[in-house]
Amino acid sequence: MTDPTRPARTLGILGGGQLGWMLGTAARRLGIECVFLDPGESCPSDMVGRRIRTAYDDESGLDRLASESDVVTYEFENVPAHAAARLLERVPVRPGPRSLETSQDRLVEKSFIESLGVPVPRFAPIDTPDDLPAAMKQVGSESIFKTRRGGYDGKGQVRLHAGEDPVARLAGLQGAPVIAEALVPFDLEASMLVVRGTDGSTLTWSAIQNEHAGGILRRSDAPGPGISAAAETAMRRHAATIANALEHVGVLAVEFFILGNEVLVNEIAPRVHNSGHLTIEHARTSQFENHVRAVVGLPLESTEPRFPMATMLNAIGDRPGDSELENAGVGLIDELGDGGSPLGSGQARWHDYRKTPRAGRKVGHLTIVGDSIDEQRVAELAAMVPGAAEAPSLASGE
Ligand code: AMP
């Protein structure tokens, strides 16, 4: 039986992808062992911990994970509800079921966030085509239809432009329950990561500005150069409000649309987040370490920045060559996530997920820290990182 007054020593993690690997790396440094559950043939997390190789809803696998762990967390929010329930009968699961249920359904998520007085885009549910007229009245003709469940990286979404037939566009989503959202003419997209401990304390990191192409995150900058002080303050406040209302334990990622000083929440993820990879080098304590600290019941550590600026570039579909990295003076971390000496200002580091390259797949990322963003240096690095140069501000002629 787990002693609730002592921090856990073995952390179970659902999912062995790059987020699981980075969580496992942070846990090892804290002397916490990890056991992963993931059906994959080989996983990035294999570099840092043992693995139960079953489907996420396999009862014997879940029972083994529960019996081998003091607490269980996850790297993705689409944990099947019955898997979470089965684990919860045997072991604490953090973040808890409220965070999971809320983030798994866009209608529940948006309604909940709005009920807290936190601004969201106008939205309306569409269960059948009969709901379309009322929904279109609510959100306007320039809108987006999103499936309530299961969408990510822009999947399960269709855009409706003025003059298009909403019935035909809706049919593209194959009858799934949908929400319609007003199209937001945002200046930029951003994220705020908040961590909440078992004692209810919260900490936030710098506001992060994100650039996507083809629905995939390409580049993140912290603090976001286009985010005003007023917008950043509002982002921090809204993220903490949501984390507190969910009684969340661990990191919560809140994605925003920014229009001047106005901020609207797009969605939340009850987990560490791709945009927060840069916290490994940029912050005194990374999102991964503070997530582990929170879920095992250790005190949170400072999220203050070590450098004025950090930029992260995602490698999509392929990785840069070793000699290219070396020639560009980019350091590497080893398989266990140890990167030798801490970065100095102006230095960059490559994180390799050891995944088989495939179109559209995130296979690694590069972070550069410094006193300011050196766009020329970022452009040089982006030219070397496959997929990164597709970010709108980096691509020529876009
Ligand atoms: P999501 O899966 O909800 O994060 O949406 C994927 C991407 O679609 C976002 O990162 C935005 O670039 C875009 N998007 C989603 N919802 C809206 C909206 N209401 N208005 C404008 N763009 C949106």
> Do residues 121 and 257 touch, judged by C-beta distance below 8 A?
yes
Residue 212, ligand 1, Cβ within 6 A: yes
Closest atom of ligand 1 to 255 CA is 4
Residues 6+ apart with CB under 8 A from 95: 73, 246, 248, 249, 250, 252, 270, 271, 295
Closest atom of ligand 1 to 210 CA is 10
> Do residues 11 and 69 touch, judged by C-beta distance below 8 A?
yes
pLDDT of 342: 82
Residue 144, ligand 1, Cβ within 6 A: yes
pLDDT at 182 over 90: yes
Q: Which fold has domain 122-182?
A: Dna Ligase; domain 1 (3.30.1490)
pLDDT of 5: 62
Please give the single-letter amino acid code of residue 261.
N
Closest atom of ligand 1 to 146 CA is 3
357-368 pLDDT, tens digit each: 999 999 999 999
The rounded Å distance from CA 358 to ligand 1 centre is 24
pLDDT of 153: 64
- For the record, the structure tokens of 23 come out as 């969580």
pLDDT of 59: 97
Residue 267, ligand 1, Cβ within 6 A: yes
pLDDT at 209 over 80: yes
Predicted TM-score (pTM) of the model is 0.95
The rounded Å distance from CA 390 to ligand 1 centre is 17
Cis, peptide link before residue 223, omega less than 30° from 0: yes
pLDDT of 398: 31
177 HSE (CA, 13 A, CB side)? 11
Looking at domain 188-395, which CATH architecture does it have? 2-Layer Sandwich (3.30)
pLDDT at 391 over 70: no
Closest atom of ligand 1 to 184 CA is 20
Query: Closest residue (by CA) to atom 7 of ligand 1?
Result: 154
Residue 151, ligand 1, Cβ within 6 A: yes
Q: How far apart are CA 126 and CA 170, in angstroms?
A: 9
Lowest mean pLDDT among 215-219, 252-256, 301-305: 215-219
Closest atom of ligand 1 to 143 CA is 19
Question: What are the phi and psi torsion angles at 85 (to 5°)?
Answer: -65, -40
∠ at Cα 361 (193, 10), nearest 5°?
55
Averaged confidence pLDDT in the chain: 93
Residue 224, ligand 1, Cβ within 6 A: no
Residue 44, ligand 1, Cβ within 6 A: no
pLDDT confidence band for 334 (50 / 70 / 90): confident
CATH class name, domain 10-93: alpha beta
Taking residues 24-34, report their average pLDDT: 96
Q: Is 284 left (phi over 0), alpha (psi -120 to 50) or beta?
A: alpha
231-277 pLDDT, tens digit each: 999 999 999 999 999 999 999 999 999 999 999 999 999 999 999 99
Taking residues 127-152, report their average pLDDT: 91
Residue 149, ligand 1, Cβ within 6 A: no
- Angle between helix 97-104 and 81-88 (nearest 10): 180
10 Å Cβ neighbour count for 356?
Answer: 8
| Beta pairing, strands 33-37 & 10-14 | parallel
> Do residues 28 and 44 touch, judged by C-beta distance below 8 A?
no
Taking residues 203-214, report their average pLDDT: 96
pLDDT confidence band for 173 (50 / 70 / 90): confident
Q: What percent of the chain has pLDDT over 70?
A: 95
Alpha helices, H only, 126-228: 132-139, 166-171
Question: Candidates 144, 178, 219, 274: which one to mutate for ligand 1, based on the most atoms within 8 Å of Cβ?
Answer: 144
The rounded Å distance from CA 130 to ligand 1 centre is 24
pLDDT of 3: 60
pLDDT of 72: 98
Which residue ranges make up each domain of the chain? Answer: 10-93, 122-182, 188-395
- For the record, the structure tokens of 141 come out as 């003709």
pLDDT of 210: 98
33-84 pLDDT, tens digit each: 999 999 999 999 999 999 999 999 999 999 999 999 999 999 999 999 899 9
- For the record, the structure tokens of 234 come out as 């509002």
pLDDT of 396: 38
Q: Is 360 left (phi over 0), alpha (psi -120 to 50) or beta?
A: left
The rounded Å distance from CA 24 to ligand 1 centre is 30
The rounded Å distance from CA 144 to ligand 1 centre is 8
Q: Is 301 exposed, middle or buried (0-12, 13-18, 19+ CB in 10 A)?
A: middle
